[in-house]
Amino acid sequence: MPELPEVETVRRGLQPVLEGSRLVKVEARRPDLRFPLPQRFSERLAGKKVTALGRRAKYLTMHIEDGPVLICHLGMSGSFRIETAGADDTPGIFHHERSKIAAHDHVVFDVASAKGERSRVIFNDPRRFGFMLFADGAADTHPMLAGLGVEPTGNALDCALLASLLKGRRSPLKAALLDQRLIAGLGNIYVSEALWRAGLSPLREAGTLADGGKKARAQAEHLAQAIRSVIADAIAAGGSSLRDYVHTDGSLGYFQHSFAVYDREGEPCAKAGCRGHIERIVQSGRSTFYCRTCQR
Ligand SMILES: [Zn+2]
């Protein structure tokens, strides 16, 4: 499943084509994805201008002038591709090969830029766990988005906020970081990576980072930095991959070359001076990768 950095990469790939452009025609080739498409889906979008393409957690938000906000989730296998005269681009790279099978092209946006250039943005989703919904009014108040926690990008997530989110929590640190009501869009892979960077065990009690002590404060600071940097690095890697592979069919996996612990069970820990090895454990039914030597 794509995580936040992959979704942000998709957003950045689509943004130049969609923002400021007009949706000349919108074709829904089936009535539903994971959920039924909104009523009068095509009619409410056709002819309208896209004022902004945003992202909240793992949701893309397409803002429509005098219209609804289109909230889009890629699900497990959803992808967008852009077809212009002479190019065929798939923004974002993913763990699984992107489908280009026409039978899975479910929604097609015909787009005209302000300069009159025509493109086609195609949503393809073989497994149909993705979805598109309308928010009338602010997207943030839509039930899908209303309960989401702070974004792990930018400077909002600092030491003080992180400590306040974790305060009093008895759950393992990893589980708390995966709780979308606390931090939105942080998934299994990047939580493992951030904890390794911060030198913190995924098993330690979350609340220990907010006990008011000097050591806890330093650890919370370190973790907040690690979360922000791991996400920023993954987005940067996606950006460069996007440029490098813009004409391929996107069969690469995630940003896995930059992973220090994820999927590296048994390998030596890459932290300078650490002689430990990466272990895999299962927490809440999901794999956690960590080094018990340097992560305490
Ligand atoms: Zn280590």
Instruction: Give the Å distance between the CA of 262 and the centre of ligand 1.
Output: 13
pLDDT at 236: 79
pLDDT band at 146 (very low <50, low <70, confident <90, very high): very high
Give the whole-angstrom CA distance, residue 23 versus residue 80: 15
Instruction: Give the Å distance between the CA of 257 and the centre of ligand 1.
Output: 18
Structure token pair of residue 241: 């991959």
Residues in contact with 216: Cβ distance below 8 Å, sequence separation at least 6, in sequence order:
163, 208, 209, 210
**pTM for this structure?**
0.88
When pLDDT is averaged across residues 206-219 and rounded to a whole number, the result is 96
Q: Catalytic residue among 204, 280, 286, 292, which?
A: 286
The 10s digit of each residue's pLDDT in 93-145 is 444 456 778 899 999 999 999 998 999 999 999 899 999 999 998 999 999 99
pLDDT at 234: 84
Instruction: Give the Å distance between the CA of 273 and the centre of ligand 1.
Output: 8
Residues in contact with 144: Cβ distance below 8 Å, sequence separation at least 6, in sequence order:
59, 71, 73, 133
Instruction: Give the Å distance between the CA of 195 and the centre of ligand 1.
Output: 11
Question: CA dist 60 to 29, 132, 275, Å?
Answer: 20, 9, 42
Q: Using only the alpha carbons of the chain, give its radius of gyration.
A: 20
Give the whole-angstrom CA distance, residue 161 versus residue 112: 43
pLDDT at 107: 97
The 10s digit of each residue's pLDDT in 236-291 is 777 555 443 333 333 334 454 568 999 899 999 999 999 999 999 999 999 999 99
Per mean pLDDT, which range of 52-66, 116-130, 170-184, 281-295 is the poorest? 116-130
Residue 221, pLDDT above cutoff 50: yes
Per mean pLDDT, which range of 52-66, 67-81, 253-267 is the poorest? 253-267
Residue 92, pLDDT above cutoff 50: yes
127 a catalytic residue: no
